[in-house]
Structure 1
């Protein structure tokens, strides 16, 4: 902000310095993804990247059939709802079971029986943490010549990608998901995939881009040990909660290590007569979580959870500690013992 404050599109020295810093950042990100620098388009975050991908497919590739899931981020589902109203575009939803596992045979049927397909399936769900098999989905899209978009906000910086070998046309990323700055992200757009013109015509967020690139590089250092550490914290929380509150259940696949990301655990709590939500109680103990009642969660409703019970989404990072995990379990148990009894 102090030294490279020039606008990259200008022709004086300050602008050239800023332009060079952006180019170095773009190249660094591309190298870690095994992508080309020109395939990285900086955005304000994954939500904007999702919207660019969807609108690009509809307007530039003349897509008339979109295949997705009911578990996608609102940035995707709300855009699709708007397109259905304003354009002659059909939207199909992939079948799934009660845990949110996708039926890829149904996906292939949808691809086989329709033309000009655009598939939008996130790599990992932001509420329940379910991992989707984007490698197989990508191969199916390649087989049927469909455009494939994935929202990878929850997994980028936690999983290594080889985008040269992964059949994905668009991938959306947010910097803050791997401890980078908020309000910056990027869209990977495979070379040869058409996208809306003028995406890079605005003034680059130079400081955000440099911070994003640096955070991305840090995330890739010792990535596997970091991920294993987070999984250890999550497993400990699962064990503690299951022992202290046997009536607790885990939504989706969030309680299964190989089927969900380590950083998210979604817990459905036993019914009580509490005067306020468990989220409020936890906030009073300086424990920051998210969640709510089943009736207000599209993801939980899509799983078929009809009882209006309260669920908590725990977000765990490499900066959390075992002591914090133990404290959370103790606080939740004490709340149920003293308030919900």
Structure 2
């Protein structure tokens, strides 16, 4: 229903662009749906299992991590000392960062966080990226950070999250993935969009808490709970173990190349039909039926159905085109192997 409503709002501009800019005929929602446009979700199946009603061209590949905290990364000495001191004292270390959200009172937010950290008895690595664009005063004094709080700035998550005990963040897709990968118990305070979805999923999985209100009382309680209840750490470790077997980048590459091979087969079929129709029309003046929109569903499984592939080759491509199809597929397989070698899989 939503797609139909949305399409009615944009169809005019889309078709105008197709006709005037691309030189293509008008299209419809039905045509686009039958064209099975590939769609990749770059999240972990452990967090977002594929729905049973997903068509086969919708894939949940796993995350596409950048691995910025490689062996070449050198953390600041002050941060290393901060972590070592907490370890020696048996103190829990929690990362707190809400990305680049815009808040009406950045000073009040920082004050709430500092007070909750002190009351909960943890140490905090603070990435204070939020801004106060709505503030009218430029003379506000920054909240003084106590020794229990380290103002980190930007630190690669894949390095930092392996050094600490829990994380608090806004529920962005990438940050959520990084905490799950590291096996970290997590508190999510969502602000908008898909952040609410990830907050509820983390809570449903038993690896964290979805924080509804960010005030001193509720935040202090959540910090104490997430760092003292072993069940969160146990479940987070299980999720991290499951994710360690995923190969998100490779899965995405394989999905893209599979769809490219499928697209080539469709192009050859449609091209053959067009040529055949033109040839027959020239000879008899009678229009020849061609594969149309209603036939696309039949073609959708060609790359997975050996019998259908052979039929398409024989009926629509001929022997020489069948050889080209095999050569294309062999090249695709070779490309995938090259990519595996390049990314060390």
| TM-score class normalised by the smaller sequence | under 0.3
TM-score (norm 1): 0.24
Q: TM-score, normalised by structure 2?
A: 0.23
Structure with the bigger RCO (C-alpha within 8 Å, sep 6+) is 1
Structure with the bigger percentage of strand: 1
